[in-house]
Structure 1
Amino acid sequence: MSHFSHLFEHWQSTLNWSPSPDQLEQFEKLYELVLEGNSQQNLTRITAPDDFWEKHLWDSLRGVLNYWERENLQVIDIGTGAGFPGLPIAIAKPSWQVTLVDSKQKKVAFVEQTIKDLQLTNAIAEAGRAEDINKISPYKKKYDLAVVRAVGSPDLCASYCLPFLKKNGTAILYRGQWLPEESEQLDIFCEEQGLQVVQQDRFQTPLTMSIRHSVYLSPRSTSISNS
């Protein structure tokens, strides 16, 4: 049974991209694996198919839309939980290499098993705290994109990302609301750390019209294209 085929038009109209039949099958299987995993541990409260599509699949991909045309990127997903946004990104972009990091061993075990079940050759899961992993050489300054979704204040998220980034890399903070005081905190942090906010992208989700934000940060002297 297909959970998401009725949403096919939405992929195209909002992301200007549609999954192949194989990718659609992987998204379906990911959904089933998360539902199954939920019976063992608390992975997500979002379990209705349309909600899952919008809040986990669509939202994961929307954050990296600016980089969609680029191939062979190295991506790290910090605090991945049940694998978001990293797993949808790995499914949608087979040429990207995605590393999914979480401090909770049980979550990482779930993500590792899911990578195997989905036969994703471009994703690996790593257990540990971002602030420890980002100091060691296989990970430090190795990534084009560091993505982080809802694991604390923006400046904290940025501080996790920064050591992972190549000198022209970008951190992408996935946020729901974006408050003026968060913006101020982040500006202060960026000033101290030699970062710049290159874009704040405010958008609506396609089904529930919820407001979301993606905030893009780079080490100073690099810029982002809006293509």
Structure 2
Amino acid sequence: MNQITMPMLPQMNDLWQKTLNWQPDESQQQKFQLLYELIVEGNRSLNLTRITEPMEFWEKHLWDSLRGITRLLPANNSAEKNSELPLDSVHKVIDIGTGGGFPGLPIAIALPHLSVTLLDSTRKKITFLETVVPSLGIENAATLLGRSDEIARQPQHKQAYDLAVLRAVGAAPLCAKSALPLLKNGGLAVLYRGNWTVEEETELQRAIEHLGGTVESVEAFTTPTSQGARHCVYLRKVVQQFERPVR
């Protein structure tokens, strides 16, 4: 890798603070830079992302990844404000269809106390991530090769996660069907979307009722530099009690 010609990511500390009430420390900023360099290098042989310009990478891969879990970032996590997802209740996270490692790797860097599983069904991408994780020097991320429906049938993964994140995976009902079987009761799935409509929400709610899920909230926002429209859809895994008929 040519370290001399590799462009530097913008620091953006003021914008981090203004928009997420958080900013990376020096070590985290260095990891973000190294992640950027590794992605650009990996892009030469793998189709990881079309986003390689430094500012665009910062906004659409780093900032966007963390915007979906803003309520987990330390400065934002007060019992009063975020009682629906207190920090101490989240330990295990799964990034379904992680691709080049987003949003899972930025989450792992920003929140090193979490255990983050990077799941993808494409062997080449998992092989790439198996080199990225140790290169970043993080110990709280692990890769997993497979399809979410197959993984969810394995005892060590079924209903084993507190949080699932899905970005650019597919239609919202498909995302929900991928995530909910992997979540513990009370767990949360975050669907990263661009535009979002009432019709989509109605379709999603109808599709997930039998899976024990409900649409808890939808947050609309714009990206901080390009002003792009974004939505995060939060799904809650709920406990359903079914009464057995008396015979």
Aligned position for 1:76: 94
Inter-partner Cα distance in structure 1 for 2:226 and 2:131: 31
Contact 1:78-1:148 at 8 Å conserved across structures: yes
Q: Does 1:171 align with 2:210?
A: no
Q: Does 1:215 align with 2:233?
A: yes
Contact 1:102-1:129 at 8 Å conserved across structures: yes
Q: Which sections of structure 2, spanning at least 5 residues, go unmatched?
A: 1-6, 78-86, 241-247
Deviation at 1:221, TM superposition (A): 6.1
Q: Which sections of structure 1, spanning at least 5 residues, go unmatched?
A: 223-227
Aligned with residue 125 of structure 2, among 95, 107, 114: 107
Q: After TM superposition, what 4+ stretches of structure 1 lie above 6 angstroms from structure 2?
A: none
How does 1:4-23 map onto structure 2 within 5 Å?
A: 4-5=10-11, 7-23=12-28
Q: Does 1:46 align with 2:67?
A: no
Inter-partner Cα distance in structure 2 for 1:16 and 1:142: 30
State the percentage of identical aligned residues. Answer: 48
How does 1:112-123 map onto structure 2 within 5 Å?
A: 112-123=130-141
Inter-partner Cα distance in structure 2 for 1:167 and 1:207: 37
What is the root-mean-square deviation of aligned Cα atoms in Å? 1.4
Deviation at 1:205, TM superposition (A): 0.6
Q: Does 1:28 align with 2:33?
A: yes
TM-score, with structure 1 as normaliser: 0.94
Residue 22 of structure 1 aligns to a residue whose secondary structure is: helix
Aligned with residue 72 of structure 2, among 60, 67, 70: 67
Inter-partner Cα distance in structure 2 for 1:73 and 1:11: 24
Contact 1:203-1:213 at 8 Å conserved across structures: yes
Structure 1 counterpart of 2:71, one-letter code: N
Inter-partner Cα distance in structure 1 for 2:13 and 2:72: 21
TM-score, with structure 2 as normaliser: 0.86
Structure 1 counterpart of 2:128, one-letter code: F
Aligned position for 2:161: 143
Max Rg structure: 2
Inter-partner Cα distance in structure 1 for 2:25 and 2:8: 14
Residue 129 of structure 2 aligns to a residue whose secondary structure is: helix
Contact 2:222-2:230 at 8 Å conserved across structures: yes
Aligned position for 2:4: none
Inter-partner Cα distance in structure 1 for 2:236 and 2:190: 9
Q: Does 1:91 align with 2:109?
A: yes
Aligned position for 1:225: none
Q: How many residues align?
A: 221
Q: Does 1:154 align with 2:172?
A: yes
